[in-house]
Amino acid sequence: MIANLDYVTLQQLWWVLCSVVGALFLFLTFVQGGNTLLWQVAKTETENALVVNSLGRKWELTFTTLVLFGGALFASFPKFYSTSFGGAYWVWMLILFTFIIQAVSFEYRTKPANVLGAKVYELFLFINGSVGVLLIGAAVGTFYTGSNFSLNDYNQVTWQYTLGGVNLRGLEAAFSLFNLSMGLFLVFNARVLGALYLLNNIELGSVAAMETRLRKAVWTNFLCSLPFLLYVVGAILLMKGFHVDESGVVSKVSFKYFFNLLALPHLLVMLLGGLGLVILGVMGGAFKGSTKGIWPAGLGTVLVGLCVLCLPAFNSTSFYPSKFDLQSSLTIYNASSSHYTLATMTYVALAIPFVLAYVAYVWKQMDSKKLTSQEAMDSEAY
Amino acid sequence: MIDVDFSLVNWSRAQFALTAMYHWIFVPLTLGLSFLCAFFETIYIKTGNEQWKSITRFWMTLFGINFAIGVATGIILEFQFGTNWSNYSWMVGDIFGAPLAIEGIFAFFLEATFFAVMFFGWDRVSKGFHCFSTWMVAIGSNLSAVWILVANGWMQNPVGMAFNPETVRFEMENFAAVIFNPVAVYKFTHTSSSGFLFASLFVLTISSWYLLKGRHIEMAKKSIIVASVFGLISSVFVAFTGDEAAFEVAQQQPMKLAAMEGLYKGEKGAGLVAMGILNSAKKPGDDQDAFLFEVKIPELLSLLANRKPGSFVPGVDDLVYGNKDENVMGVNAMMKKGQLALADLASYKKAKKEKNDVGAAEALTRFDVNKDYLGYGYLSTPEEAVPSVPIVFNAFHIMVVLGSLFPVIFAAFLFYALKGTLTEKRWLLPIGLISGLLGFLAQQSGWVVAEVGRQPWAIQGLMPVKVATTNLSTTSVQVTFFMFVAVFTLLLIAEISIMLKQISIGPEGH
């Protein structure tokens, strides 16, 4: 049955699937947000141990989701994978370095003879949560603002932006206010999620002062995220977008994404509903003493993420536009794998609900009891 | 003086090799130690003996320290296909990307989800569920190896696909052929079982140290028994799958086999070099002797390579320059066909652009005749198709010699451990102490054989590495190369330091 699906349907389905994985990753950046909150909300050794151990039990899920996001894009949109990763070399390298240093930090931080000392590993966690998420946001921003590449007849990428004779290989994305705002929004949103997650996961009875700081962090980081969110949303509604006509010719069109939202009202519902859920989670966590704010805020982040990733891909739009050569721009139709590969991968993807189910089951099993100070200070704890 | 080419492609190769070799320090230990932890914990569940729980937790701690850095080095490998080998990613992403995505869905989530239970679930879930989680981590780790080795096997023996001149890439036509590619099957079974073997040697090393020091004697003895059984079974499996893997190499990558054996001139009834010293001045096509010294086992190479005594095994010279008598087409002839294929592909693209359908159809017909030699068209000289014979030969022989030694070590440890006289065998314990290091050397040598022996190809016969690389400045790759050297070395030092401290603390700390 799947093999009989037409090519366009499979291409669209796979963009949605990749977007779901990407959106789930954005939710799971609560780990990164939590990393950056460590020095702000944990003032005692016990509080420090609680925060690190709470996040340390989830970091692998975020990491794995990022790897899956890369793998899914490689399998389903290899031209995007080769163009973006090979082109914006420095952006992706820096992102990867921030995730490398994070991967060992939880495990090594408190181990005796760890060479670098606990503070350095905590610094690694901070860099991952701040620089890593900022750059990922900037990379997502280029879906709207475009990048500086061209492709030849053999689809080989050349990156065209130089500054002072140096090819910046994607770092120029940081010169765009939109890309920076997207990145900073994600950083502050991750911090909101991080604080909400910690409120949910930790036994707060013995750390009342930290609870107060966490609730304050939910609100202050939400406020910090607002200007960037408003700028991003405003810019998306007003900016020119990259339209693809029926013959595949790409041109810049005014209010493209605004019209996309009107043409794809379910995305508008996701955006508004998602933002509403984030606000609901924030209000509950910041002012109502709730410890469950992570769930609406997390779901809201997933919905907003889905909208952000799907809006520049559908309704005859280029999802990875080239500012240098419009006709090199990538669409989900010219960048995808073959029909056979997409169909085969769709059979494989039938396992995803099963994977999500056991992840949820184990999460519930492990988190049915809150993390206590005693557990966090155990000799085998992080 | 060694002539080193510091071009972009070589820096890109160096960076990938560096990452892969660092990654491969930790991964085999993860593959095997995860199963050993599962064995120890299962025995604990079955016996209820708390000492087995202590043993499990001790080895689990070392597993966790190793696992973290394995994950850190692993993420880079996946993304480097895009960052440094973007032409490769585009040209084979339709096939190569699928195993990587499946690895994420089926293997990584299994590991990531149950890893937290394995380490922090002792008091949060039931004993049974905890043990189940440990098994899931072991299975997840090894499932991950399945998919990445399916991908690697495909690079060594590209099957189940066809070249699409329209998109200028290779596209998958038969997923089952990709998965059940014989090279991939033996690559996985050989690699994973060698990981089991290495982890067993690692347990012997640490346990031998405890016995030599007179510490944690009961724990060390128990660990040795389990590891020796696992290691012995694994080493038999490694030998069997190694033989099958070499047979596949002989069929699919004869140049690699010739390099593994230092065989320059093909022979009927070729002998296997048991030991030898290569003549470093030897070049393809010259008349110098390949060896300064060699001991050969007659006929054995023909038997192993073709399953037929007396059969012809081509050497480097036959493969480069051809051998009409034995019906071997040389690289020089393939290059001509490859160059025609590239020219016809260019004509096809030009005709399509000019909307000249007749011209495009004609070019495509000509292209189809020579398309199987596409990759050879990129080579500059026939000799470019020869990998570094000294590196491949020496690495292969180090691997084989050590691989033959390991079952003897496991058998000796098991015998004396069961007899109850292990602590009296002071001559054996130092061998156990260094056995982990020997296992590490064998592991790295195995990968050198597999990957250096594949050169100059990214995909055997279809795409040389110089075409696969991203169009980057050499400086960018140099900078990231040294960044990787610095970060990975620092993390490795930290890992070893932490590991040594944990070993020094011993199981009482758990």
Nearest CB among B57, B105, B470 relative to A348 is that of B105
Mean pLDDT of all residues belonging to chain B: 92
What residues does A241 pair with on adjacent strands?
Answer: A253
Q: What percent of chain B has pLDDT over 70?
A: 98
Q: Supply the pLDDT for residue B6.
A: 65
Rounded to two decimals, what is the model's pTM? 0.91
- Domain range enclosing B353: 331-378
Is B232 among the domain residues? no
CA nearest B199: which of B23, B436, B21?
Answer: B436
Biggest CA-to-CA distance, chain A: 65
Whole-complex ipTM: 0.90
Domain shared by B314 and B270, yes or no: yes
> What's the gap in Å between the CA of A114 and the closest CA on chain B?
5
Angle (CA) B368 B369 B375, round 5°: 80
Structure token digits, residue B112: 């990531």
Q: In sequence order, what DSSP letters do the residues of A322-334 get, joined into one string?
A: BSS-GGG-B-TTT
Residue of chain B minimizing CA distance to A334: B167
Is B437 among the domain residues? no
Nearest CB among A68, A70, A380 relative to B79 is that of A70
Q: Which helix (H) or strand (E) holds A158?
A: strand A157-159
HEC readout, B317-356: HHHHHCECCCCECCHHHHHHHHHHHHHHHHHHHHHHHCCC
Q: Supply the pLDDT for residue B5.
A: 57
Taking the Cβ of residue A368 and every Cβ of chain B, the question of whether any pair is shorter than 8 Å is answered with yes
Q: How do residues A321-356 score in pLDDT, each as one tens digit? A: 999 999 999 999 999 999 999 999 999 999 999 999
User: CB under 8 Å to B235, separation ≥6 — which residues?
Assistant: B197, B403, B406, B407, B410
Chain B residues inside the 8 Å CB shell of A96: 75-76, 79
Q: Supply the pLDDT for residue B96.
A: 86
Alpha carbons within 13 angstroms on the beta-carbon side of residue A245 total 8
Q: Are strands B272-278 and B267-268 parallel, antiparallel or unpaired?
A: unpaired
Q: Which long-range contacts (CB under 8 A, 24 or more apart) does A111-118 make?
A: A111/B65, A111/B498, A111/B501, A111/B502, A112/B498, A112/B501, A112/B502, A112/B505, A113/B497, A113/B498, A113/B500, A113/B501, A114/B494, A114/B497, A114/B498, A115/B490, A115/B493, A115/B494, A115/B497, A115/B498, A116/B490, A116/B494
The verdict on a CB contact (< 8 Å) between A348 and B112 is no
CA–CA dist B447, B321 (Å, integer): 28
CA–CA dist A18, A11 (Å, integer): 11
Taking the Cβ of residue A333 and every Cβ of chain B, the question of whether any pair is shorter than 8 Å is answered with no
Q: Supply the pLDDT for residue B74.
A: 84
Which residue type sits at A316?
S
Chain B residues inside the 8 Å CB shell of A125: none
Nearest CB among B93, B98, B487 relative to A81 is that of B93
Is B69 among the domain residues? no
CA nearest A93: which of B321, B274, B75, B293?
Answer: B75
CA–CA dist B142, B37 (Å, integer): 14
> What's the gap in Å between the CA of A115 and the closest CA on chain B?
5
Structure token digits, residue B222: 């128990």
Angle (CA) B77 B79 B85, round 5°: 90
- φ, ψ dihedrals at A170, nearest 5°: 100, -20
The verdict on a CB contact (< 8 Å) between B510 and A365 is no
Domain shared by B273 and B304, yes or no: yes
User: CB under 8 Å to B167, separation ≥6 — which residues?
Assistant: A155
Residue of chain B minimizing CA distance to A359: B113
Confidence of residue A24 (pLDDT cuts 50, 70, 90): very high
Pick among B65, B71, B95 to test the A interface (most A CBs inside 10 A): B71
The verdict on a CB contact (< 8 Å) between B471 and A157 is yes
CA–CA dist B152, B158 (Å, integer): 10
Confidence of residue B1 (pLDDT cuts 50, 70, 90): very low
Q: In sequence order, what DSSP letters do the residues of B267-306 get, joined into one string?
A: EETPPEEEEEEE-TT--TTS-S-SEEEEEEETTHHHHHHH
CA–CA dist B278, A172 (Å, integer): 51
Q: How do residues B228-278 score in pLDDT, each as one tens digit? A: 999 999 999 999 999 999 999 999 999 999 999 999 999 999 999 998 999
Residue of chain A minimizing CA distance to B63: A107
CA–CA dist A126, A39 (Å, integer): 9
What residues does A162 pair with on adjacent strands?
Answer: A167
User: CB under 8 Å to B349, separation ≥6 — which residues?
Assistant: A153, A154, B165, B168
Nearest CB among B68, B78, B81 relative to A103 is that of B68
pLDDT at residue A361 is higher than 60: yes
pLDDT at residue B215 is higher than 80: yes
Q: In sequence order, what DSSP letters do the residues of A226-251 get, joined into one string?
A: HHHHHHHHHHHHHS-EEEE-TTS-EE
User: CB under 8 Å to B137, separation ≥6 — which residues?
Assistant: B34, B37, B38, B110, B111, B114, B115, B118
CA–CA dist A210, B200 (Å, integer): 45
Is B52 among the domain residues? no
Domain shared by B303 and B351, yes or no: no
Q: In chain A, which residue ranges form alpha helices assigned H by DSSP?
A: 7-28, 30-41, 45-56, 59-76, 78-80, 86-87, 89-108, 118-127, 133-145, 177-201, 208-238, 256-263, 265-287, 294-310, 339-349, 352-367, 373-376
Q: Supply the pLDDT for residue B510.
A: 56
The verdict on a CB contact (< 8 Å) between B75 and A103 is yes
Taking the Cβ of residue A153 and every Cβ of chain B, the question of whether any pair is shorter than 8 Å is answered with yes
Is B488 among the domain residues? no
Cβ atoms of A33 and A189 within 8 Å: the answer is yes
- φ, ψ dihedrals at B172, nearest 5°: -75, 140
Chain B residues inside the 8 Å CB shell of A86: 82-87, 89, 470-472
The verdict on a CB contact (< 8 Å) between B71 and A63 is yes
Q: Supply the pLDDT for residue A334.
A: 93
Pick among B59, B113, B483 to test the A interface (most A CBs inside 10 A): B113
The verdict on a CB contact (< 8 Å) between A107 and B68 is yes
Q: How do residues A80-96 score in pLDDT, each as one tens digit? A: 999 999 889 999 999 99
pLDDT at residue B509 is higher than 80: no
Which residue type sits at B81?
F
Is B133 among the domain residues? no
Chain B residues inside the 8 Å CB shell of A103: 68-69, 71-72, 75
Confidence of residue B2 (pLDDT cuts 50, 70, 90): very low
Domain shared by B314 and B338, yes or no: no
Structure token digits, residue A37: 């909150």
Domain shared by B305 and B346, yes or no: no
CA–CA dist B84, B261 (Å, integer): 32
CA–CA dist B428, A350 (Å, integer): 53
Nearest CB among B125, B129, B498 relative to A113 is that of B498
Q: Which helix (H) or strand (E) holds B457?
A: strand B457-459
Q: Which helix (H) or strand (E) holds B27?
A: helix B8-47
Taking the Cβ of residue A203 and every Cβ of chain B, the question of whether any pair is shorter than 8 Å is answered with no
Cis status, amide bond into B298, omega within 30 of 0: no
Q: How do residues B107-155 score in pLDDT, each as one tens digit? A: 888 988 999 899 888 888 999 999 999 999 999 999 989 988 999 999 9
CA–CA dist B313, B270 (Å, integer): 6
Q: Supply the pLDDT for residue A171.
A: 87
CA nearest B484: which of A247, A93, A168?
Answer: A93
The verdict on a CB contact (< 8 Å) between A100 and B82 is no
HEC readout, A311-324: CCCCCCECCECECC
Chain-centroid distance, C-alpha B4:
25
Residue at a domain's end among B319, B345, B360 = B319
Chain A residues inside the 8 Å CB shell of B171: 337-338, 340-341
Q: Which helix (H) or strand (E) holds B33?
A: helix B8-47
Which residue type sits at B51?
Q
Which residue type sits at B305?
A
pLDDT at residue B64 is higher than 60: yes
The verdict on a CB contact (< 8 Å) between A366 and B117 is yes
Chain B residues inside the 8 Å CB shell of A366: 116-117, 120-121, 124-125
Q: How do residues B19-61 score in pLDDT, each as one tens digit? A: 998 898 888 999 999 999 999 999 999 999 999 999 999 999 9
Place of tokens 């050794």: A45
Cβ atoms of B481 and B80 within 8 Å: the answer is no
User: CB under 8 Å to B457, separation ≥6 — which residues?
Assistant: B155, B375, B463, B464, B465
CA–CA dist A110, A105 (Å, integer): 9
Is B278 among the domain residues? yes
Q: How far separated are the first and last CA of chain A, in Å rounded?
A: 48
Radius of gyration of chain A (CA): 21
Cα→Cα distances B352→B339, B358, B361, B377, Å: 20, 9, 9, 22
The verdict on a CB contact (< 8 Å) between B89 and A74 is yes
Q: How do residues B444-492 score in pLDDT, each as one tens digit? A: 999 999 999 999 999 999 999 999 999 888 999 999 999 999 999 999 9
Chain B residues inside the 8 Å CB shell of A84: 82
Q: How do residues B199-212 score in pLDDT, each as one tens digit? A: 999 999 999 999 99
Q: Supply the pLDDT for residue B208.
A: 96
Cβ atoms of B316 and B333 within 8 Å: the answer is no
Residues A280-316: b if buried by 16+ CB within 10 A, e if exposed: bbbbbbbeeebbebbbbbbbbbbbbbbbbbbbbbbbb
As for how many domains chain B has, the answer is: 2
Residues A322-358: b if buried by 16+ CB within 10 A, e if exposed: bbbebebbbbbbbbbbbbbbbbbbbeebeeeeebeee
Domain shared by B272 and B311, yes or no: yes
Q: Which helix (H) or strand (E) holds B164?
A: strand B161-164
Q: How do residues B158-187 score in pLDDT, each as one tens digit? A: 999 999 998 889 999 999 999 999 999 999
In this predicted model, which residue has the larger pLDDT, B71 or A280? Answer: A280
Is B211 among the domain residues? no
Q: Supply the pLDDT for residue B100.
A: 87
Taking the Cβ of residue A86 and every Cβ of chain B, the question of whether any pair is shorter than 8 Å is answered with yes
CA nearest B262: which of B404, B424, B395, B439?
Answer: B395
Q: How do residues A215-237 score in pLDDT, each as one tens digit? A: 999 999 999 999 999 999 999 99
Chain-centroid distance, C-alpha A46:
30
CA–CA dist A87, A150 (Å, integer): 9
Q: Supply the pLDDT for residue A164.
A: 82
Cβ contacts from A onto B, under 8 A: 259
Cβ atoms of B106 and B150 within 8 Å: the answer is no
Structure token digits, residue B510: 């758990």
Q: How do residues A135-157 score in pLDDT, each as one tens digit? A: 999 999 999 999 999 998 888 88
Domain shared by B311 and B337, yes or no: no
